Structure 1
Amino acid sequence: MVHTCVVAGCRNRRTPGTTLSFYRFPRDPERKQRWIAAVNREGWVPNEGSRLCSTHFISGKQVKNPRSPDYVPSVFTSAPLSSNMKEAGACEMYDKQEAQVEAANALLFLQGQGRFLEDHGQTRNQEEPESVSSSLSSCDEEDYKTEDYKIEDYIEEEISLTRVNQMGSPVKNIPPDYESSLDALKKENMELRESIEKMSFTEASFRNDPEKVRFYTGLPNYFVFETVMMLLMPHMKGDKNAKLSKFQQLLLTLMRLRLDLKNQDLAYRFGVKVATVTRTVHRIINIMFITLVPTAVFWPSRAELRKNLPTALLCMYPDCAVIVDCFRVSLEKALSVDVNQEHASTALTVPAHATVNELKYVIGVAPQGVVTFVSRGSPGHVSDKNLVESSGLLCKILPGDVVLAEHDFDIEGLVGARKAELKITSRNCYENCQSGQDGDNFSLVGTHSDKANVHRHVGKVIDMVKRRYSMLTGPVESPFMVVDRTSNVSTFDKIVQVACALNNLCISAAPLE
């Protein structure tokens, strides 16, 4: 709607781009009559569409403070003022700055702050704010919400309000303890930021905290973590709308392996849904199985084995290629499977139908302490001989190699068929040496207990992997027993191999010599 100013002789209209404001007549009867008298049109009564432009106010806009000269329009050049308007104008004794001060005071009072500014050092009357409040409250609330009136004008006036000191320079009304309060708030804000940063799972919080990296990922430092991330990043899913960044996807998965945290726990920690955690863990495990395992778990060449053979084995078994052992992991829920059908391509001989309560893995450890072979999981009642025969370990043994194993590891015939030699360690001697060295790093010594230490060496590696990644201690949850159709490998089998690969990236049990 196009509005035209109702003042006689005024041609101002509301048009696009105009900077003028057009005000409707007040709803308060007394103030409305004063506006009508100011317009000075005999016998004229405003309607809902009547508007008054801002050029008829001293400050260029209306002010709803009764003490302000712009409470009633007073600037008219084309028409004489009525006698009532002249009387009203004569009563206004405050200048423009005083009007702004009073307008800000009235706004603060309406907002419940009840604090008035000093009037150049003079004491205000206690009853004066009440009269101002009552006068303002008589104005209709709807009048404040019109399209022509902006409450921000009052707020801007209050913010820019200043008092003039004796020298005439503006002085902000700032409390005496403002600076100290501001410094205290800044310090508190910084402490809160640091606290939140320490508790958060961001790259910055891990980059300079190796202890945090070891606790949540099992990796020795952030450099190793970053190396793994760079290897996996081209295969990881990440976009602007993703709930988790690539860093958080890898961190979440490693926390699942390291601490065996439940999906619900991880969902709370990372602020996502349980389904997101489940999908992320399975996807990242699959990526690490494809990219990381072939890089970190591999059978070294004979030249590499001989080059870094520990001193103890160099004297007794210079041709040692691998130390073989088995470990078991229990299942959360027993499975009833057709084992012969499941392992039709293997040489396993077990009952046609069996209840599986645990999984059994054969593991090969190089003399240097790194894992070089891990089999797929088999039912716990499968014999060591059948497990080794079906695992594919024998295919990696070369003629002349020496394989170390326990006395009850009945694979001498299998190893002999590969023109290699099986050396059995003594369990009794091993048990008599349980009080030996502890910790992640130890060396094999050339004494009468060498055989026991050889056996203890591989046991130490298995314990280290399980201790570093608690998920391998079991029990295995049913969803991780699902077999991937593309690779024909269960998720938990992938987890075992991924854990061994990550362990190889850390300091080995037997340092290279």
Structure 2
Amino acid sequence: MVHTCVVAGCRNRRTPGTTLSFYRFPRDPERKQRWIAAVNREGWVPNDGSRLCSTHFISGKQVKNPRSPDYVPSVFTSAPLSPEMKEPGALEVLDKQEARVEAANALLFLQGQGSSVSGEMGQEEHPQEGEQEASFEESASSSFSTDEEDDDNDDESLSECKKGKLAQASDASVNFEDALKALKKENQALRESVERMSLSESSLRNDAEKVKFYTGLPNFFVLETVMWLLAPHMEGMKNVKLSKFQQLLLTLMRLRLDLRNQDLAYRFGVKVSMVTRTVHQMVNIMSSTLVPTAVFWPSRAELRKNLPAALRASHPDCAVIIDCFTVPFEEPVSRGNQQHQQQGMGTSYNVLKFLIGVAPQGVVTFVSRGVLGNVSDKSLAEGCGFLCKLLPGDVVLANRDLDIADSVAARGAIFKIASTYGSSEGTPLADSSSETPSVQRHVERVISMVKQRYAMLTGPVESPFTTTSERTSNLSTFDKIVQVACALNNLCISAAPLE
């Protein structure tokens, strides 16, 4: 059976040796309707024998991917004929794209197939379609510049016309293929560029530096381990726009880079309210699951076993290195308690004060909740539960005088200052003669590593993070953020190597 293209004005049909393809109309009703609309023949409905040739697709063939431009034919003449296609000579002037397609078909037709095709076409087995085929044959021959009826007396002019159109068809075919290759190459480059710029799981998987920059974690394996630990606890979080991995990544970027919520909303394509809710929920989950497994007080045997060389000679009984740090608020906060009011102290404060304890190996082993105002180091240490961790004979090392020597001594432990210059108050506990510059540098490195790794701990703290997050807990969201940052720090390679 001879298949003829159903598009108005298209003269292509299946012939022996042709490189054209002819496609049935799709079975899918929605796609089939789009094909019918693209053919644009009023009142016409395709049957089982209806075919569409490959010249009506940009790439020269149909594509079943809905995202492809060739999912539906799009290359057509600017002025289609009547539905019955009885007047092919009434076509309007083709646009540039159609001219190229027709020229390419002319080239294929003229390359050694003219005579053989004409002989075989006359022997088709469907005489009832003879008149229609003859009409198409006559139309096609006129399109390829034969014009035998009009120019019988001008053979020389006809020959020159054929040569010119053959050259144009060849150039159009080459230009079309080159343009298609260039577009495919450009498309691939754009896809790779978008993938590199995106904040997706695949873009981070093989880029340790990118993982370290955005999350503070050393590589994707550690990030994936954290995701595996938190995923079962994220089932109740309803977020249709962000995946579990994106919710974790957004929260880590908030802690690591201290990005504003509006910035994160732009990066992830969500609303600011969703960013705020996601950060609060993820911090609560990490506080209850990650912190207990990563921030804990080690046994004395473990401390002695892995004591760094910088402290092994001078402080073999060092159990912890401590310091206090403050984080400012974005705005002054009015918040007080009964103890402050009884002491006649004001209720307006603009800093949070924390006590942090780090093992000599560089692992955070203790962090207190934040206390508002200018509370003394002694009051903070006695009220946060730090002293309960100490055993008789433990050495508590600090880089400066924290005024907690008496409180530490009451637990049978010893407080020392790792400074070659001794204490500003001249306390005898600062045995500067036994200290070395390497010990001082070691302590400074251990204390500063957490705040360097997670910029949000440098402040200023936004007011929504200072309120108590749960009724059953006296911890604010920022208290939990500090604890989570310490837990994440413990998953990284220590800034204070053992040797």
TM-score normalised by L of structure 1: 0.63
Query: Which residue of the partner structure matches residue 464 of structure 1?
Result: 449
CA distance in 1, matches of 2:203, 2:333: 42
Q: Contact 1:65/1:102 (CA < 8 Å) preserved in 2?
A: no
Query: Which residue of the partner structure matches residue 507 of structure 1?
Result: 493
SS in 1 for 2:145: coil
Query: Which residue of the partner structure matches residue 493 of structure 1?
Result: 479
SS in 2 for 1:510: coil
Letter in 1 for 2:84: V
Query: Which residue of the partner structure matches residue 288 of structure 1?
Result: 286
Taking a change above 3 Å as real, the CA distance of residues 257 and 125 of structure 1, as seen in their structure-2 partners, is farther
SS in 2 for 1:483: coil
The reply to whether residue 403 of structure 1 matches residue 388 of structure 2 is no
Letter in 2 for 1:486: T
Query: Which residue of the partner structure matches residue 267 of structure 1?
Result: 265
CA distance in 1, matches of 2:321, 2:44: 98
Taking a change above 3 Å as real, the CA distance of residues 190 and 52 of structure 1, as seen in their structure-2 partners, is closer
Q: Contact 1:405/1:423 (CA < 8 Å) preserved in 2?
A: yes
Q: Contact 1:360/1:379 (CA < 8 Å) preserved in 2?
A: yes
Query: Which residue of the partner structure matches residue 250 of structure 1?
Result: 248
The reply to whether residue 422 of structure 1 matches residue 415 of structure 2 is yes
The reply to whether residue 332 of structure 1 matches residue 330 of structure 2 is yes
Deviations for 1:214-267, whole angstroms, at most 9, x for unmatched residues? 111111111111111111111114789711001100000011111111111111
Taking a change above 3 Å as real, the CA distance of residues 102 and 247 of structure 1, as seen in their structure-2 partners, is farther
Letter in 1 for 2:447: I
Query: Which residue of the partner structure matches residue 66 of structure 1?
Result: 87
SS in 2 for 1:288: helix
CA distance in 2, matches of 1:101, 1:386: 102
CA distance in 1, matches of 2:46, 2:283: 71
Q: Contact 2:399/2:443 (CA < 8 Å) preserved in 1?
A: no
SS in 1 for 2:143: coil
Residue 376 of structure 1, aligned match among 360, 364, 369: 369
CA distance in 1, matches of 2:464, 2:223: 27
CA distance in 1, matches of 2:254, 2:176: 49
Structure of greater Rg:
1
Letter in 2 for 1:367: P
CA distance in 1, matches of 2:265, 2:311: 48
CA distance in 2, matches of 1:197, 1:328: 40
SS in 2 for 1:251: helix
State the 1:450 CA deviation: 3.7
Query: Which residue of the partner structure matches residue 353 of structure 1?
Result: 346
Residue 314 of structure 1, aligned match among 307, 312, 315: 312
Deviations for 1:4-53, whole angstroms, at most 9, x for unmatched residues? xxxxxxxxxxxxxxxxxxxxxxxxxxxxxxxxxxxxxxxxxxxxxxx999
Residue 210 of structure 2, aligned match among 191, 203, 212: 212
- Worse-matched range after superposition: 457-466 or 322-331: 457-466
SS in 1 for 2:174: coil
Alignment of 1:434-449 (within 5 A): none
Taking a change above 3 Å as real, the CA distance of residues 309 and 62 of structure 1, as seen in their structure-2 partners, is closer
Taking a change above 3 Å as real, the CA distance of residues 266 and 178 of structure 1, as seen in their structure-2 partners, is same
State the 1:376 CA deviation: 0.5
Taking a change above 3 Å as real, the CA distance of residues 119 and 281 of structure 1, as seen in their structure-2 partners, is same
CA distance in 2, matches of 1:386, 1:52: 89
TM-score normalised by L of structure 2: 0.65
Q: Contact 1:430/1:452 (CA < 8 Å) preserved in 2?
A: no
Letter in 1 for 2:480: K
Q: Contact 1:325/1:406 (CA < 8 Å) preserved in 2?
A: yes
SS in 2 for 1:359: strand
Q: Contact 1:337/1:353 (CA < 8 Å) preserved in 2?
A: no
CA distance in 2, matches of 1:53, 1:237: 51
Number of matched pairs = 359
SS in 1 for 2:173: coil
Residue 385 of structure 1, aligned match among 378, 401, 407: 378
Identity over aligned pairs, percent: 60
The reply to whether residue 119 of structure 1 matches residue 155 of structure 2 is no
Letter in 1 for 2:455: S
CA distance in 1, matches of 2:46, 2:491: 77
CA distance in 1, matches of 2:179, 2:237: 43
Deviations for 1:278-337, whole angstroms, at most 9, x for unmatched residues? 111011111111111111111001110010001221111111101111111111111122
Q: Contact 2:450/2:486 (CA < 8 Å) preserved in 1?
A: yes
Taking a change above 3 Å as real, the CA distance of residues 172 and 382 of structure 1, as seen in their structure-2 partners, is same
Q: Contact 2:331/2:350 (CA < 8 Å) preserved in 1?
A: yes
Taking a change above 3 Å as real, the CA distance of residues 119 and 402 of structure 1, as seen in their structure-2 partners, is same
Give the gaps of 5 or more residues in structure 1: 1-50, 69-92, 106-116, 127-170, 432-446
State the 1:449 CA deviation: 8.0
State the 1:211 CA deviation: 1.1
Taking a change above 3 Å as real, the CA distance of residues 370 and 196 of structure 1, as seen in their structure-2 partners, is same
SS in 1 for 2:374: coil
Q: Contact 2:445/2:496 (CA < 8 Å) preserved in 1?
A: no
Letter in 1 for 2:414: E
Give the gaps of 5 or more residues in structure 2: 1-42, 52-81, 90-128, 151-168, 425-431
Q: Contact 2:446/2:496 (CA < 8 Å) preserved in 1?
A: no
Residue 480 of structure 1, aligned match among 443, 446, 465: 465
Q: Contact 1:253/1:284 (CA < 8 Å) preserved in 2?
A: yes
CA distance in 1, matches of 2:467, 2:137: 76
Q: Contact 1:340/1:352 (CA < 8 Å) preserved in 2?
A: no
Q: Contact 1:329/1:472 (CA < 8 Å) preserved in 2?
A: yes
Letter in 2 for 1:338: G
Letter in 2 for 1:477: E
Letter in 1 for 2:444: G
Deviations for 1:167-226, whole angstroms, at most 9, x for unmatched residues? xxxx99972333322222221111011001011111110001111111111111111111
Alignment of 1:97-246 (within 5 A): 97=133, 99=135, 119-123=143-147, 175-237=173-235, 242-246=240-244
State the 1:96 CA deviation: 2.0
